[in-house]
Amino acid sequence: MTGMLASVSSVSEALLVLDAQVDIIDLKQPAAGALGALDIDVIRKIVEHCQGLRPVSATIGDLPMHPELIFNAVSSTAATGVDYIKIGIFPDGDALSTIEKLAVLTQQPLALVAVLFADQQPDFTLIDALKHAGFKGVMLDTMDKAKGPLTQIMPQTDIARFVRHAKERQLLCGLAGSLRLEDIAGLLPYQPDYLGFRGALCARHERVGLLDKAAVMRIKQAIGSRC
């Protein structure tokens, strides 16, 4: 069964999607990039307000693949008490060494989720390294939101291959990237664990705008009615 991940950037937005009973509350700063990070104090406040009622994930920011830099950012975010920490696998730096460095943290354990970018020639073979390093899951997203939704950037056969590859390795699997209401029906048959949304939840579909509860409920109902 596929769940809904909703990205929020404030306490008020987190409470809105909590009231809507979305499956994962994802914390990010849309104005700061594909995986822009919220201030650590804001993350901590949102975790406190959610009171464990829904899983909370948080991004560490659009950081280059420098092992020590990523390690420190993950450690700082972990201290806030979030359930999942999302790490973008960006094209600059050493992705494999970074993944190997983070294996130390998964022993604590921390639930780490890697994010691959469909518009940056993602290397699906890294999924094996993620599994070996103890990551909890992997998502497929887009870096440049102006290019359109995931479904227009990557062929459906490759999206299906990504989901299958992740599930065969028993990793949580999510799909995101400027997804729209009309993308849901085509993606659900692949059975990802989550579909992630931000822009489609906002007034006028502007991802840096405020969330609109009616839009949140439309997406949630579309996922629920087709599972």
Catalytic residue positions, numbered: 28, 86
Q: How many other CB atoms are there within 10 angstroms of residue 194's CB atom?
A: 23
How many CB atoms within 10 Å of residue 103?
15
Whether 5 and 57 have beta carbons less than 8 Å apart is answered as yes
- In Å, how far are 43, 137, 200 from 58, measured between CA atoms? 8, 14, 19
DSSP secondary structure code for residue 18 in this structure = H
Residue 197: phi and psi, rounded to 5, are: -140, 145
**DSSP of 186-219:** HHGGG--SEEEESGGGBGGG-TTS-B-HHHHHHH
- Calculate the alpha carbon distances from 50 to 55, 56, 78, 146, 202 in Å: 9, 8, 16, 31, 21
How far is the C-alpha of 39 from the C-alpha of 124, rounded, in Å? Answer: 31
- Could you give the CA distance from residue 175 to residue 100 in angstroms, rounded to a whole number? 24
